[in-house]
Structure 1
Amino acid sequence: MITPPCSTMNPPVQQRPGLGIIGMGLMGGALMRMTGAARGWDIDPARCVHADSAAEVFANCAVVMLCLPDSHIASAVLAAAETRPGQIIVDTTTGDPGVMAALGAALAEKGCHYLDATISGSSVQLLRRDVLVMAGGDADVVERCREIFDTFASEVIHAGPCGAGARMKLVTNLVLGLNRAALAEGLAFAEALGVEPESALRAMRAGNAYSRAMDVKGEKMIRRDYTPQARLSQHLKDLRLMQNCAGERGMDLPLARTHRALLEKAEGMGLGSLDNSAILEVLRLHRE
């Protein structure tokens, strides 16, 4: 086990002995720093904090946050967990809305409270308290968790019942991802035209083409610094979820379909574990 590292971006936070985290990757590790959670468990033992197992977290924490790759993994973790009445499960996983709604119903039968509290923003933005929480579940439970959310989020939206947070996250991620892809294509086009990338980014930021993706990913793309803040493969997973949800409702998402094809090509190039700004490398290839 390791002790949680101190964030260089924020002062020391209040420790919360009743709060634990399952999943200590990029987002989970950032949540540990910001919330003051007492325990954190991960499948990678090197990431664990004061916990040798997920069971230890569930046994000792009144509030357990899940930060996992997908909702099916979250389902497996919860199926194996010995939850107890009154315990609050805050699931930050970007997952299948139907699965997450079912998790909420199943946990309610056990007397537990479940929120699908999805997070819009990267791990670095979370460390700056610059993310949005979109929570599905009972409004009173959202309010009970607000003190925790306020440690890392600039805004909290109650989206509706269980599953609503996951649905809203897919909508916002669709638009966010397309903004990021459009930025990458614009920078690749600027390069082909002989326009300095820094000048192109400055012009896009100053005019009607602006999106927040430029603030978060613009400099990374220009420097071709793909140190992961949010992995490319994770957004590809989200795009597949979006298309599945749209298909179930008889809807096509043509722009998302194109974006998915680009990310699948990027993953095939070995870029999946890099930051999602690495989509630029696929678009730069289209010059040849």
Structure 2
Amino acid sequence: MRIGFVGLGVMGRPMVDNLIAAGHELSVYRGRTEVDAYVCSSAKEVAERSEVVILMVPDTPDVESVLFAPAGVAEGLQAGSLVIDMSSISPTATIGFAELIEKLGCEYLDAPVSGGELGARSGTLTIMVGGRPEVFERAQPLFDVLGQNITLIGGPGAGQTAKVANQIIVGLTIEAVAEGLLFAERAGADPAVVRQALMGGFASSRILEVHGERMIAETFEPGFRIRLHRKDLGLAIQAAAELDLALPNTAATQQLMSAAIADGDGELDHSALYRTLRRDKI
């Protein structure tokens, strides 16, 4: 396919590499590194050259700007084009974006991902999709290149809703692992040995396995930055307010992330919350 891609960051760049390796023709915009693709001067040009446009940008205002600002994607779309937003943004805003794109005679999917940079590089991302089933089927070959666990959740916005739920669970679990390992350390046990023991019990999780190891080794190169995760928990709190729903532990974890950012750790991996909890010792 002729694919346009906007956003060549930590996640976007390896996703583009995988699409190129699968034989697709790529046109890109917003990238700081060299890539084996046609580099466009605007998001509009990306859309003009593509039958499918994929977005992977940081936040809701970024998606809105890429789509609808002057020289944006919407100005370059042709009838029947497909826009796939793989960013993590507001579910409510996503529904509005989908309606506007469909009024142009085009199709829209929200398809946020989980799996971090490692999943993007290996093509093993979890992809949560919102949109019409027939549009999902059209995009399935591309999703198969980028991920392994691919699920159509529901209509427009449903993918973003699933991603917000994912970020709540991941964020709170990282915080729980950090507290548990810090408790073990302060109580005089070797946290590495404690982690290994817990991996064989009911507390075992992918986060204890991967992020627990990062906490113990204090290797916090970003797979997913604290600053972006705080943004995602902000989306959860905003949506919860609209639903009159209390998410007290989500709010507390977001505040811990704010403390990490205030300490200068916002660009570190979200496992660096461990540093924030033990800051008085560092």
TM-score normalised per structure 2: 0.91
**What one-letter code is carried by the residue in structure 1 that aligns with 2:278?**
R
The aligned residue for residue 51 of structure 1 is 39
2:209 corresponds to which residue?
215
Q: What does the per-residue CA deviation read over 1:28-49, in whole Å, with 9 as the maximum and x for residues that have no partner?
A: 112112222522211x544564
1:276 and 2:270 correspond = yes
Contact 2:101 2:108 in 1 (8 A): yes
Distance apart, 1:180 and its partner CA: 1.2
Q: In the alignment, which residue of structure 2 is the partner of 1:139?
A: 133
AA in 2 matched with 1:103: F
Q: Deviation of residue 216 (structure 1)?
A: 2.7
Does the residue aligned with 2:214 lie in a helix, a strand or coil? Answer: helix
Matched, 1:103 2:87: no
User: Shift of the alpha carbon at 1:50?
Assistant: 2.2
Choose the corresponding residue for 2:185, options 187, 191, 208: 191
CA RMSD in angstroms, aligned pairs only: 1.6
- One of 5, 23, 27 as aligned partner of 1:39: 27
Check 1:216–1:152 CA distance in 2 against 1; reply closer, same or farther (3 A cut). Answer: farther
1:234 equivalent in structure 2:
228
2:53 counterpart letter in structure 1: V
1:26 aligns with 2:10: yes
Contact 2:8 2:32 in 1 (8 A): no
Structure 1 residue runs of 5 or longer lacking an equivalent are 1-15
Deviations 1:181-223 (A, max 9, x none): 1111111111111211211111121111112112331221111
Contact 2:27 2:40 (8 Å CA) reproduced: no
For each residue in 1:202-246, what CA deviation from the matched residue of structure 2 results, as whole angstroms up to 9, or x when unmatched? 112111111211233122111111111111100000011100000
Aligned equivalents of 1:223, 1:267: Cα separation in 2: 21
Q: Distance in 2 between matches of 1:285 and 1:182?
A: 16
Q: Which runs of 4+ in 1 moved over 4 A?
A: none
2:29 partner letter: W
Distance 2:191 2:28 in 1: 41
User: Secondary structure at the residue paired with 2:163?
Assistant: helix
Give a deviation string over 1:93-132, Cα, whole Å, max 9, x none: 1100011011111111101111000112211122223321
Instruction: Map 1:2-21 onto structure 2 (within 5 A).
Output: 16=1, 18-21=2-5
CA contact (8 A) 1:232 1:274 kept: yes
Does the Cα contact within 8 Å between 1:192 and 1:287 map onto a contact in 2?
no
* Structure 2 segments unaligned to the other structure (5+ residues): none
Q: d(CA) in 2 for partners of 1:41 and 1:206?
A: 45
Contact 2:57 2:87 in 1 (8 A): yes
Q: How many percent of aligned residue pairs carry the same amino acid?
A: 31
Q: Tell me if the contact between 1:24 and 1:47 (Cα under 8 Å) persists in the aligned partners.
A: no
Pairing 1:261–2:245 present: no
Aligned positions of 1:81-230 closer than 5 A: 81=73, 82=75, 83-230=77-224
SS in 1 for 2:111: strand
Q: Is the 8 A contact 1:41 1:47 kept in 2?
A: no
Which deviates further from its counterpart, 264-273 or 147-156? 147-156
In the alignment, the residues of structure 2 paired with residue 72 and residue 149 of structure 1 have an alpha-carbon distance, to the nearest angstrom, of: 24
Name the structure 1 match of 2:61: 72
